[in-house]
Structure 1
Amino acid sequence: MDIRVLRYFIAVANEENISAAANYLHLSQPTLSRQLHDLEKELGTTLFIRGNRKITLTDEGLFLLERAKEIVGLVDKTAANFNQPSEIISGEIYIGGGETEAMQLIAKTIKKVVAHHPGIKFHLYSGNADDITLKLDHGLLDFGIVIEPANKQKYDYLKLPAVDVWGVLMRKDDPLAGKPFIEPKDLFNQPLIISKQTATGSVLSGWFGEAVENLNIVGTYNLLYNASLMVKEEIGYALCLDKLMNTSEESELCFRPLQPKLEAGLDILWKKHQTFSRAAKVFLNYLRESI
């Protein structure tokens, strides 16, 4: 499977039209069509449903598109760290992380790195622990910041000097907003919105003293902003970490911590036995110093 053809495939999937993709790629339409036909023949499957004006992907095409983007991204990431002047430390660093105030420490470390090595570029990816570890495993991220508990068996890691506090995001006009903290009894039978992260279930089960399946879960979220919109519409209470949403005086929302107190530590992970680029080594050294 040629990397060049995968780029062609991605372009056609994005443009949803052979002619438009051919113009974008500076190819003739017959050449591009032949390349796609050969790709389908090589894989032994149909990737496109060809309409009069629009091309859509089959299920197999959607699967290939996801993998093709990962493959092309990894190739580009690798090439970027080689195509740099040898006397200058430069390159591309990819960091993934969930929504956490600990990203402020990462941002401060990046600022120090860039001040001394302006040739180093950083790319940040937002996602939960499941997303982050999957991309680490595929080589698409150099580092990942995850909230404990997390399965760190396959990774080396540093514990970050930060602790996040769990609580409830709710409307300020909600009856529970008058309480200084929220207890398990306050939330029994209430509509709850929780993170879809795998580890969250065990964390919340321990605090509630009840299996998550027995709670009234009305929704899950990947990014808290989307959950906050559901809270504003009075769909439910969002169980989340503190200091991620605007709960200032002008906001409709407020945050109340859990009681008993529930805290989460944070780690930065990287694959065991990973061979770092010079840029990634510099970042890790600066981070160690910051910690």
Structure 2
Amino acid sequence: MELRVLNYFLTVVREKTISKAAEALHLSQPTLSKQLKELEEELGVTLFTRGNRTITLTEEGIYLANKGKEILSLVDSTTANLMSEEVISGEISIGGGETQAFEFVAILLHELREKYSDIKLKLYSGNADDVLDKIDQGLLDFGLVIDPVEKQKYEYLRLPLADHWGVLINNSHPLAEKKTIAPEDIVDIPLLISSQSSVDNQLAEWFGENIEHLTIIGTYNLLYNASLLVKQNVASALCIDGIIPTANTNLVFVPFAPPLTANINIIWKKNQIFSNASKAFLQLLSKKE
């Protein structure tokens, strides 16, 4: 499969009709249709259901569209990073979960771009599972992850910061008046918890037993949408402090007691071949460690 033809396919996905895609690509409609047909024959799948007005992607088409965007993004960033070895330029791609610690990274990136203005940034938000998966695929250079997370197969630096766990609560809830939350306080209330695969073990250690006896009504991967349920008093959310601003809202964050903290790490693949931009970021990060 040629990158040129992959780009044709993604243009059709974006424009939703072959005629508009052909116009955007400066191709004739028969030429584009022929290229797409040959792509389907090469892959042995049907990518489109062709309607009277617009095309509809099949399941295989949706899969190729998602992966194709990642492939072309990786090609673009690789090309940019290889174009100059003398000038510090190119793209740094960083993924991270929801944490105030990203401000630490933001300060470093600001310092780096003050010195090397040609550096471009690509940010991705997701929980640790999402970030690790993209690092494994080579789609991210660095990941900002919150413990607990399996770091053995990665290189990493622990940041001089820590996050603090607690409960995000509607201010009309009786627990909102408390200064701290103990394990027994939340045994019988509806809860939302992180879907990150390793968080359950950390919470279980804090509770001193399996968390299955809790009233967990749902999970979240990023906290914002969960906070909307907390605003409606559907449930309370076990989460990290500082992710959701609570000033002038009906939300209250109450920390755990005894405290439960989480270390924060920057990770990258072992034996990673970095662009000169990513090398400069890592050097700066090492100085701040």
Shorter-chain TM-score category? Answer: over 0.9
1:14 offset after TM fit, Å? 2.2
Q: How many angstroms apart in 1 are the aligned matches of 2:52 and 2:151?
A: 50
Q: How many angstroms apart in 2 are the aligned matches of 1:209 and 1:22?
A: 62
Secondary structure of 2:82's partner?
Answer: coil
Q: How many angstroms apart in 2 are the aligned matches of 1:214 and 1:28?
A: 63
* 2:169 paired with 1:182: no
1:208 offset after TM fit, Å? 2.4
* 2:197 paired with 1:209: no
Letter in 1 for 2:233: E
1:56 offset after TM fit, Å? 1.3
1:76 paired residue number:
76
Aligned residues: CA RMSD: 1.3
1:196 offset after TM fit, Å? 1.3
Whether contact under 8 Å (2:40, 2:47) holds in the other structure is yes
Q: How many angstroms apart in 1 are the aligned matches of 2:119 and 2:188?
A: 51
Q: How many angstroms apart in 2 are the aligned matches of 1:218 and 1:16?
A: 39
1:215 offset after TM fit, Å? 2.5
Letter in 1 for 2:32: L
Q: In the superposition, relative to structure 1, how do residues 259 and 51 fare at CA in structure 2: closer, same or farther (>3 Å)?
A: same
1:55 paired residue number:
55
From 215, 227, 250, the counterpart of 1:252: 250
Whether contact under 8 Å (2:155, 2:267) holds in the other structure is yes
- What CA deviation, in whole Å up to 9, does each residue of 1:43-93 have, x standing for no partner? 111111111112111111111122111211111110011223x43211110
Q: How many angstroms apart in 2 are the aligned matches of 1:46 and 1:223?
A: 34
Q: How many angstroms apart in 1 are the aligned matches of 2:205 and 2:81?
A: 44
- What CA deviation, in whole Å up to 9, does each residue of 1:118-139 have, x standing for no partner? 1111111111101101110111
Secondary structure of 1:118's partner?
Answer: coil
Q: How many angstroms apart in 2 are the aligned matches of 1:119 and 1:225?
A: 33
Letter in 2 for 1:106: V
1:42 paired residue number:
42
Q: In the superposition, relative to structure 1, how do residues 189 and 111 fare at CA in structure 2: closer, same or farther (>3 Å)?
A: same
Secondary structure of 1:19's partner?
Answer: helix
Q: In the superposition, relative to structure 1, how do residues 32 and 211 fare at CA in structure 2: closer, same or farther (>3 Å)?
A: farther
1:9 paired residue number:
9
Q: How many angstroms apart in 1 are the aligned matches of 2:17 and 2:188?
A: 50
Greater CA drift, 61-70 or 99-108 = 61-70
Greater CA drift, 209-218 or 183-192 = 209-218
Whether contact under 8 Å (2:99, 2:163) holds in the other structure is yes
Letter in 2 for 1:178: E
1:91 paired residue number:
90
* 2:233 paired with 1:234: yes
Identity of aligned residues (%): 54
Letter in 1 for 2:58: T
1:213 offset after TM fit, Å? 3.5
TM-score of the superposition, structure 1-length normalised? 0.96
Letter in 1 for 2:25: L
- What CA deviation, in whole Å up to 9, does each residue of 1:2-38 have, x standing for no partner? 1111111112222222112222222221111111111
2:272 paired residue number:
274
1:108 paired residue number:
107
Q: How many angstroms apart in 2 are the aligned matches of 1:280 and 1:199?
A: 28
Q: In the superposition, relative to structure 1, how do residues 259 and 40 fare at CA in structure 2: closer, same or farther (>3 Å)?
A: same
Greater CA drift, 143-152 or 27-36 = 27-36
1:206 offset after TM fit, Å? 1.9
Q: How many angstroms apart in 2 are the aligned matches of 1:47 and 1:213?
A: 43
2:25 paired residue number:
25
Greater CA drift, 131-140 or 22-31 = 22-31
Letter in 1 for 2:268: W
Whether contact under 8 Å (2:192, 2:216) holds in the other structure is yes
Structure 2 residue runs of 5 or longer lacking an equivalent are none
